[in-house]
């Protein structure tokens, strides 16, 4: 599968159409009301775009990282929250598609997901683990082919709007905090009690308050293997590459608005390059660098899958450092780019009701350095650089 | 590899000091999964550093991956390879 295939071309065209006709016109309302972008998700379901990462043998198109990043970045240009919901959903689908194929239940679930276009959310945070997703306090308890799982999550993005949630937890009540598994809990088999609010600066449509989860299910809904592997081989790379792509999408729309503003000025006075054009030239270099960073790493990720040692390579310190560097670079760059775009549009970008408005873009991108704190990631990189030689 | 092998003893001591395992390193089998025994990726970096110091070796980047450090036996094999033994 390459980005040039006719099948992908048709999917991307469908996404562009729904981004323009559904996501963009609703973006301000989603932001203002801090509401789930329901109509955009409905449109994604109709276009069968929620099964994009599902392999062909289960009825999906089996898109790789480059295709998924193209889809997320395109949607984010219309609505950042929608782009983030789509990215988070793809991350969960990829965890199942890449780590649960040995299970008959999950092979069936993937086919069902294609048919019903399920929305999948995740619950990785927990009160008491202080943002460290690779440790859990809660544990899955198994008995007679069933499980019981309760979790006190600090954030649960769009959990109230999902058909299923992937939950991290300890493998058993006597397992150490780092010995985790992923469990799929299904709508109808869990109860959510909202514990905190979601009245934030940005990414308001992701609807991510804290929840207490109480769930049960069949034991086969526990993803085989260890979350240590699915985290390093899938959740981390999919998160960092897809997030970077959608943060770029938000920044790209900000620059597009600034560019339109500059062109408008230029048309009023042909022959004179407006002073804002120089600022546009400057910000376009940063936008391009940001784009090529995630594009290159998406391509590298896809190429790993063709190599026999690919899955092992994803567990290397060298790759972990690349992912950390991408996350830090992209999350720092996105608000900087929007800030520079705002210097171009001036007061028209500062207004919330102008076509050059950049408030939502600015506020949305400010979340980037906080969702998995850059400080935490940088300290992990600092530790890994003590043994990594880059040779 | 047996428990009286001096290299294995040193590896067990390093795991005890730096692996932050939830079990006693002496009670682990040579093939036991250290990550399942509670070693985090952060702790594994300290184990790598201590091994490099103890055995006067440098792990090349291609060895800096989970499968090389997931058991006492695999660590022993990697250290042995770098010592040319």
ipTM of this predicted complex? 0.84
What is the distance between the alpha carbons of residues A65 and A257, in angstroms, rounded to a whole number? 28
* Distance of residue B65 Cα from the nearest chain A Cα, in angstroms: 4
Interface test with B, best of A232, A316, A377 (most B CBs within 10 A): A316
> Using the beta-carbon criterion (under 8 Å), do B45 and A313 form an inter-chain contact?
no
The answer to whether the beta carbons of residues A312 and A362 sit under 8 Å apart is: no
User: Is the model's pLDDT at A1 over the cut of 50?
Assistant: no
Closest by Cβ to B42, choosing from A316, A380, A389:
A380
What lies within 8 Å, CB to CB, of A242 at 6+ separation is A65, A68, A69, A72, A87, A90, A91
* Largest Cα–Cα separation, chain B: 32
From B66, which residue of chain A is nearest by alpha-carbon distance? A315
Chain B residues inside the 8 Å CB shell of A175: 36
Q: Please list the pLDDT of chain B residue by residue as tens digits (85 residues).
A: 455 689 999 999 999 999 999 888 889 999 999 988 888 888 999 999 999 999 999 999 999 988 899 999 999 999 999 998 5
CA dihedral sign, ordered A315, A319, A325, A326: negative
From A176, which residue of chain B is nearest by alpha-carbon distance? B38
Chain B residues inside the 8 Å CB shell of A383: 42, 45
What lies within 8 Å, CB to CB, of A117 at 6+ separation is A44, A45, A48, A50, A51
User: Chain B: which residues have CB within 8 Å of chain A?
Assistant: 22, 35-42, 45, 48-49, 52, 58-62, 64-67
> Using the beta-carbon criterion (under 8 Å), do B64 and A318 form an inter-chain contact?
yes
What average pLDDT score do residues A112-137 get?
95
pLDDT tens digit string along A153-204? Answer: 999 999 999 999 999 999 999 999 989 999 999 999 999 999 999 999 999 9
What is the distance between the alpha carbons of residues A356 and A348, in angstroms, rounded to a whole number? 6
Domains of chain A: 6-118 (1.10.540.10), 121-221 (2.40.110.10), 227-384 (1.20.140.10)
CA dihedral sign, ordered A369, A373, A374, A375: positive
The answer to whether the beta carbons of residues A243 and A327 sit under 8 Å apart is: yes
Q: What is the pLDDT of residue A3?
A: 64
A143: β partners: A146
What dihedral do alpha carbons A36, A38, A41, A47 form, nearest 10°? -170
User: Is the model's pLDDT at A4 over the cut of 80?
Assistant: no
The answer to whether the beta carbons of residues B71 and B34 sit under 8 Å apart is: yes
Chain B residues inside the 8 Å CB shell of A313: 65
* Distance of residue A176 Cα from the nearest chain B Cα, in angstroms: 6
In this prediction, what percent of chain A has a pLDDT beyond 70? Answer: 99
Chain B residues inside the 8 Å CB shell of A232: 66
The answer to whether the beta carbons of residues A257 and A359 sit under 8 Å apart is: no
Q: Which of A138, A118, A104, A131 is nearest to A215 (CA)?
A: A138
pLDDT tens digit string along A272-322? Answer: 999 999 999 999 999 999 999 999 999 999 999 888 887 888 889 999 999
> Using the beta-carbon criterion (under 8 Å), do B64 and A228 form an inter-chain contact?
no
> Using the beta-carbon criterion (under 8 Å), do B42 and A176 form an inter-chain contact?
no
pLDDT tens digit string along A212-259? Answer: 999 999 999 999 999 988 999 999 999 999 999 999 999 999 999 999
Q: What is the pLDDT of residue A283?
A: 98
pLDDT tens digit string along A329-346? Answer: 999 999 999 999 999 999
Q: Distance between terminal CA atoms of chain A?
A: 32
């Amino acid at each position: 599968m390459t980005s040039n295939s006719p099948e992908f071309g048709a999917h991307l065209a469908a996404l562009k159409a729904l981004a323009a006709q559904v996501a963009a016109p609703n973006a301000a309302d989603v932001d203002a009301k801090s509401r789930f972008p329901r109509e955009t998700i409905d449109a994604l379901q109709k276009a069968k775009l929620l099964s994009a990462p599902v392999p062909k043998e289960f009825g999906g198109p089996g898109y790789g990282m480059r295709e998924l990043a193209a889809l997320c970045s395109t949607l984010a240009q219309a609505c950042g929250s929608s782009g983030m919901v789509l990215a988070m959903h793809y991350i969960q689908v990829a965890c199942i598609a890449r780590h649960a194929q040995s299970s008959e239940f999950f092979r069936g679930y993937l086919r069902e997901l294609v048919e019903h276009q399920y929305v999948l959310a995740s619950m990785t945070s927990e009160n008491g683990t202080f943002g460290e997703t690779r440790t859990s306090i809660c544990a899955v308890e198994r008995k007679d082919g069933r499980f019981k799982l309760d979790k006190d999550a600090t954030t649960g993005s769009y959990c109230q709007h999902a058909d299923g949630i992937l939950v991290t937890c300890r493998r058993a009540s006597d397992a150490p905090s780092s010995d985790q598994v992923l469990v799929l809990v299904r709508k109808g088999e869990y109860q959510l009690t909202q514990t905190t609010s979601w009245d934030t600066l940005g990414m308001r449509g992701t609807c991510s308050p804290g929840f207490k989860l109480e769930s049960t299910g069949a034991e086969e809904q526990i993803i085989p293997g260890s979350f240590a592997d699915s985290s390093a081989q899938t959740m981390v790379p999919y998160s960092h590459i897809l997030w970077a792509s959608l943060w770029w999408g938000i920044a790209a729309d900000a620059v597009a608005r600034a560019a339109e503003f500059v062109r408008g000025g230029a048309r009023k006075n042909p022959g004179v390059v407006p002073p804002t054009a120089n600022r546009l030239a400057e910000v376009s270099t940063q936008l391009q660098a940001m784009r090529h960073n995630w594009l290159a790493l998406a391509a590298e990720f896809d190429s790993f899958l063709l190599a026999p040692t690919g899955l092992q390579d994803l567990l290397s310190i060298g790759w972990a450092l690349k992912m950390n560097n991408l996350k830090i670079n992209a999350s720092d760059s996105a608000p900087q780019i929007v800030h520079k775009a705002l210097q171009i549009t001036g007061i028209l970008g500062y207004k919330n009701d102008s076509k050059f408005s950049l408030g939502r873009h600015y506020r949305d991108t400010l979340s980037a350095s906080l969702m998995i704190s850059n400080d935490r990631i940088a300290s992990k990189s600092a530790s890994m650089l003590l043994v990594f030689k880059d040779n | 590899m047996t428990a009286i092998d001096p290299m294995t003893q040193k590896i067990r001591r390093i795991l005890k000091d730096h692996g932050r395992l939830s079990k006693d390193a002496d009670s682990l089998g040579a093939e036991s999964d250290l990550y399942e025994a509670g070693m985090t990726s952060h702790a594994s970096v300290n184990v790598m550093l201590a091994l490099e110091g103890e055995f006067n070796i440098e792990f090349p980047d291609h060895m800096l991956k989970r499968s090389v450090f997931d058991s006492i036996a695999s660590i022993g094999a990697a250290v042995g390879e770098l010592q040319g033994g």
